[in-house]
């Protein structure tokens, strides 16, 4: 046990003496003198590599520390910029939504003002998720004078009619609902001949049948509400014929109509409270 301890003490003493000698020589070599002593010159030559190495090590350490500090600062700045970008993106999205809402409300007011019908604008607040039925819920009801079967329209054309009316909301059965009884009459704009329109039968289309064999429907014909319509004012656009099918004998026809109203994007509709 004593031998290793003594050995360590000797090493420490040698290192201490070496440090003192080096320090003394450095101090001595830094003094001004007329002639340089060879021992000093020798010491300076020996010390030069160590001084150079020490310089590069300290310079490298300083540069590394500065780089780490700058990286940390850039990281904090980057995080702050990301937060600002996220806030600005959210604010921009809100502004775009407000702008779109403002445009939609302005268009609604212009349509209401230009229409000869007495209209009440309403917001769509819910949709029927069923694939079998096509209905929506609007935010007004009996408190605005609504009653069952009142027409519901959009800027594009016919949407449907009121089905169930509550005090503060109402259910609208849309033109494309395939339930029995969801039908209406219309006229071909081109000929003013009478046709019958039935709720959606496939891919959001409605079935159209002529009122008699003499009525001929053509692709591209626009179908309007007729004067004989039970609920709807006349000359409202219902939709456009996209396909015509004829029987084998060529006497009977049926056609498919694409509604003018885009039911997948309904946000607001108008209830006609007076024909």
- Who contacts 259 (Cβ-Cβ below 8 Å, separation ≥6)? 157, 158, 175, 176, 204, 205, 206, 238, 239
What does the alpha-carbon distance between residue 236 and residue 176 come to, in Å, rounded to a whole number?
A: 16
In the block, tokens 């003490």 appear at 9
pLDDT in tens, 8-49: 677 777 766 666 666 665 555 555 555 555 665 666 666 667
Q: What is the pLDDT of residue 256?
A: 95
- Distance, CA of 158 to CA of 225 (rounded, Å): 8
Q: How much is the pLDDT for 197?
A: 95
pLDDT tier, 224 (very low <50, low <70, confident <90, very high otherwise): very high
List pLDDT tens digits, range 38-90: 665 666 666 667 667 767 777 888 888 888 888 888 888 888 888 888 888 88
pLDDT for 265 equals: 83
Separation in Å, CA 30 to CA 33, 44, 45? 9, 10, 14
Closest CA to 140 of 117, 167, 119, 161: 167
Which residues contact residue 112 at a Cβ distance below 8 angstroms, ignoring those fewer than 6 apart? 119, 121, 270
Q: Which tops the pLDDT comparison, 95 or 137?
A: 137
Instruction: Provide Rg for the chain, Cα atoms.
Output: 45
Give the residue among 217, 196, 193, 197 at the shortest CA–CA distance from 205.
Answer: 197
Condensed to tens digits (0 to 9), the pLDDT of residues 228-251 reads: 888 999 999 999 999 999 887 767
Please state the domain extents for the chain.
Answer: 37-114, 120-275
pLDDT of residue 141: 96
Q: What is the pLDDT of residue 7?
A: 66
pLDDT exceeds cutoff 60 at 2 = no
Give me the pLDDT at residue 26, please. Answer: 58
Q: What is the pLDDT of residues 88-122, one digit of tens each?
A: 888 888 888 777 777 777 776 777 776 788 999 99
- Mean local confidence (pLDDT), 121-149: 89
Please provide the CATH number assigned to the domain covering 120-275: 2.40.10.340
Note if the pTM is more than 0.85.
Answer: no
Q: How far is CA 73 from CA 25, 69, 70, 82, 103, in A?
A: 43, 6, 5, 14, 44
* Backbone dihedral angles phi then psi of residue 217, each to the nearest 5 degrees: -100, 145
- Give the pLDDT confidence score for residue 101 in this predicted structure: 72
Q: What is the pLDDT of residue 69?
A: 84
Q: How far apart are CA 160 and CA 191, in angstroms?
A: 24
Whether the predicted pLDDT of 185 surpasses 80: yes
Q: How far apart (Å, rounded) are the C-alpha atoms in residues 206 and 198? A: 6
Mean of the pLDDT values across residues 241-267? 89
Tokens representing 94? Answer: 């809100």
231-237: list long-range contacts, CB under 8 Å, 24+ apart.
231/149, 231/150, 231/151, 231/161, 231/184, 232/151, 232/158, 232/161, 232/184, 232/272, 232/275, 233/117, 233/151, 233/272, 233/275, 236/151, 236/153, 236/157, 236/158, 237/156, 237/157, 237/158
Q: How confident is the model at residue 261 (pLDDT cuts 50, 70, 90)?
A: very high
Q: What pLDDT score does 151 carry?
A: 96
Taking alpha carbons only, the member of 138, 208, 207 closest to residue 172 is 138
């Amino acid at each position: 046990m004593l031998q290793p301890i003594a050995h360590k003490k000797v090493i420490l003493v040698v290192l201490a003496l070496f440090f003192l000698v080096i320090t003394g020589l450095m101090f001595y070599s830094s003094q001004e003198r007329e002639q340089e002593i060879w021992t000093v010159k020798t010491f300076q030559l020996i010390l030069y590599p160590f001084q150079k190495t020490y310089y590069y090590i300290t310079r490298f350490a300083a540069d590394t520390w500065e780089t780490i500090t700058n990286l940390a600062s850039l990281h904090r700045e980057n995080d702050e910029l990301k937060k600002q970008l996220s806030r600005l993106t959210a604010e921009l999205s809100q502004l775009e939504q407000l702008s779109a809402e403002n445009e939609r409300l302005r268009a609604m007011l212009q349509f209401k003002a230009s229409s000869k019908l007495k209209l009440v604008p309403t917001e769509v607040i819910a949709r029927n998720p069923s694939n079998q039925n096509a209905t929506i819920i609007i935010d007004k009801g009996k408190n605005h004078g609504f009653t069952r079967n009142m027409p519901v329209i959009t800027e594009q054309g016919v949407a449907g009619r009121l089905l169930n009316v509550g005090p503060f909301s109402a259910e609208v059965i849309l033109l494309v609902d395939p339930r029995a009884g969801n039908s209406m009459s219309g006229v071909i704009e081109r000929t003013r001949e009478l046709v019958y329109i039935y709720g959606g039968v496939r891919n959001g289309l409605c079935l159209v049948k002529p009122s008699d064999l003499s009525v001929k429907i053509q692709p591209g014909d626009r179908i309007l509400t007729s004067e004989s319509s039970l609920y709807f004012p006349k000359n409202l656009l219902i939709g456009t014929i996209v396909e015509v099918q004829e029987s084998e004998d060529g006497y009977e026809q049926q056609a498919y109509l694409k509604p003018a109203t885009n039911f997948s994007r309904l946000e607001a509709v108008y209830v006609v409270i007076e024909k």
